[in-house]
C-alpha cells in the first residue's frame, strides 16, 4: 500500500485530469463524481479516501467489502461494481449502499426480494455491455426496454441510471464508442419511459477522458489513485 502522501498527490492528478477533460467538452467538473475503487487494497485505502474528502468507495467482491466494512469505523458509502452471483445477493443487499452491477433479471428479482426483507429501498444501476465484449458482463442493448420495465416494476429497487465497462483495447475510440452508446441508450430509455436516469457510471483510469466527453456522471478509478493492484 502506498503512503497517504502519494495517494494525495495521485488524487490531485486525477482531479486535474477531470478538470481538463471537462474543459475540453464544456462540462462543469461538479457534474462528474469520482468513485475511488479500493478493491484488492487494504482497508487503509478506504481511510485515505475519506481523509481525502471523498465519500464513497467501489468494491467488486462481497466478501472483501464485508471484511473491510467491519474493520472500518468511519462513514463511507459502499458501492458494488463487480459481477454479483445470485447466491451472494442477500449479503450484498446488507453490505452495499448501491449496486451498480445488476446484469441479469434473476439477480434483479433476488435483490428486490432481499431489499424488501431487509426493509430498504436499494439504489441500483443497470449494467450494459454496450461494447459487446464477450468477456464483460452486462445486458445487451436490445434487452434494455424489457429490463428497465422489469426494474421499474419492482417495489424495493430504485434505478439511478446505467453503468458500463468498456472493452480493454489500446484504441481508445473503442471505449469512446461504448460510452457514447450507453449515453444514447440512457437518453432513449429516459424519453420512452418518461423517467430520469441521471447516473451514467462509466470511465476508469485508462479511459476517463473518453467517458467524460461522452457524458459520464461518475468515473470509477483505482489504479490512478492507489497504484497497480497485486492479485
Ligand X SMILES: *Cc1c(COP(=O)(O)O)cnc(C)c1O
Q: List 99's β-bridge partners, or say none.
A: 80, 124
Interface with ligand X, residue 45, by CB under 6 A: no
Chain-centre distance for alpha carbon 108: 16
Is the Cβ–Cβ distance between 98 and 75 less than 8 Å? no
Query: Mask: binding to ligand X, 59-98, rule CB under 6 A, as x and -?
Result: -x--------------------xx----------------
Q: How far is it, in rounded angstroms, from Cα 137 to Cα 167?
A: 11
Minimum distance, C-beta of residue 100 to ligand X, in the bound complex (Å): 8
Interface with ligand X, residue 39, by CB under 6 A: yes
Does residue 217 come out as left (phi exceeding 0), alpha (psi in the -120 to 50 range) or beta? alpha
Number of residues that bind ligand X (CB under 6 A): 14
Select the residue interacting with ligand X from 32, 165, 211, 212 (CB under 6 A): 165
Minimum distance, C-beta of residue 82 to ligand X, in the bound complex (Å): 5
Select the residue interacting with ligand X from 34, 65, 182, 204 (CB under 6 A): 204
Interface with ligand X, residue 222, by CB under 6 A: yes
Is the Cβ–Cβ distance between 18 and 29 less than 8 Å? yes
Q: How far is CA 198 from CA 114, 123, 163, 176, 224, in A?
A: 25, 12, 11, 19, 25
Those residues whose C-beta lies under 8 Å from the C-beta of residue 207, and which sit 6 or more positions away, are: 166, 172, 175, 176, 179
Which of 99, 154 has the CB closer to ligand X?
Answer: 99
Interface with ligand X, residue 221, by CB under 6 A: yes
Which of 52, 206 has the CB closer to ligand X?
Answer: 206
List residues binding ligand X (CB under 6 A): 37, 39, 60, 81-82, 165, 204-206, 220-224
Amino acid at each position: 500500500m502506498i503512503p497517504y502522501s502519494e495517494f494525495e498527490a495521485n488524487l490531485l492528478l486525477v482531479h486535474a485530469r477531470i478538470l481538463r477533460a471537462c474543459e475540453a467538452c464544456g462540462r462543469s467538473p461538479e457534474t462528474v463524481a469520482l468513485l475511488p475503487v479500493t478493491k484488492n487494497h487494504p482497508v487503509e485505502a478506504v481511510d485515505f479516501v475519506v481523509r481525502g474528502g471523498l465519500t464513497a468507495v467501489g468494491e467488486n467482491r462481497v466478501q472483501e467489502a464485508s471484511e473491510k466494512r467491519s474493520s472500518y469505523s468511519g462513514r463511507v458509502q459502499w458501492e458494488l461494481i463487480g459481477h454479483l452471483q445470485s447466491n451472494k445477493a442477500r449479503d450484498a443487499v446488507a453490505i452495499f449502499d448501491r449496486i451498480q452491477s445488476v446484469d441479469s433479471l434473476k439477480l434483479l428479482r433476488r435483490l428486490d426480494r432481499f431489499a424488501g426483507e431487509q426493509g430498504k429501498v436499494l439504489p441500483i444501476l443497470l449494467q450494459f455491455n454496450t461494447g459487446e465484449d464477450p468477456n464483460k458482463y452486462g445486458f445487451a442493448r436490445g434487452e434494455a426496454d424489457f429490463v428497465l420495465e422489469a426494474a421499474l416494476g419492482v417495489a424495493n429497487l430504485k434505478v439511478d441510471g446505467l453503468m458500463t465497462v468498456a472493452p480493454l483495447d489500446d484504441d481508445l475510440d473503442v471505449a469512446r464508442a461504448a460510452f457514447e452508446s450507453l449515453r444514447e441508450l440512457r437518453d432513449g430509455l429516459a424519453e420512452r419511459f418518461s423517467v430520469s436516469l441521471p447516473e451514467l457510471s462509466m470511465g476508469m483510469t485508462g479511459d476517463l477522458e473518453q467517458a467524460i466527453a461522452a457524458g459520464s456522471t461518475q468515473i470509477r478509478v483505482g489504479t490512478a489513485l492507489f497504484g497497480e493492484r497485486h492479485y
